[in-house]
Amino acid sequence: MSKVERRSEKHGVSWEDEYGYVQAVKHGDTIYLSGQLSHDGEELVAPAPVDSDGTVTDFGNMGAQLRQTYANAAKLLERFGASLDDVVEEVIYTLDCDALFAVAGPVRKEAYGRPDPLVASTMLGTTRLAFPEQLVEVKFTARV
């Protein structure tokens, strides 16, 4: 029995080492991406405003965060010679399903480059994500 190739990639951000994980693992012909979020290096892109308790006060940056999230996923996939065209499943975690649903269609269609993304997609509401200013996180599975 031959051993299946296994390779990983990181973005190089501090929380990877702090938490202890990689951003992506390719195992055989499948690429698993950890939940991606809207960052550019160590900085969140379009952070949501929060009050003194860390509660989000405005969900208006949902589209910008989602757009950057797909861009970050595309960068990781590219390192494996893949693209968003190879994604077969996504799971979208959000603090507000209504705010996400209002922007997700156009952003997803733009990211996947087609009016009918051929991706199994699940949306889940949650009370908190990794960072207080984070509105959305997306986990991807791709086949190559």
- Residue 25, domain member (yes or no): yes
Contact assessment for residue 57 and residue 115, using Cβ atoms and an 8 Å cutoff: no
Residue 45 burial (CB count, 10 A): 17
- Model pTM score: 0.95
pLDDT of residue 142: 98
**CATH number of the domain to which 89 belongs:** 3.30.1330.40
In 3-state terms, what secondary structure has residue 76? Answer: helix
- Residue 118, domain member (yes or no): yes
Tens digits of residue pLDDT in 34-81: 999 999 999 999 999 999 999 999 999 999 999 999 999 999 999 999
| 3-state percent breakdown (helix, strand, coil) of the chain, nearest 5 | 30, 30, 40
How many structural domains are present in the chain?
1
Give the mean pLDDT of 120-135: 97
pLDDT of residue 22: 95
- Residue 1, domain member (yes or no): no
Neighbouring residues of 19: CB distance < 8 A, sequence distance ≥ 6:
none
- Residue 132, domain member (yes or no): yes
- Residue 37, domain member (yes or no): yes
Percent of the chain with pLDDT over 90: 97
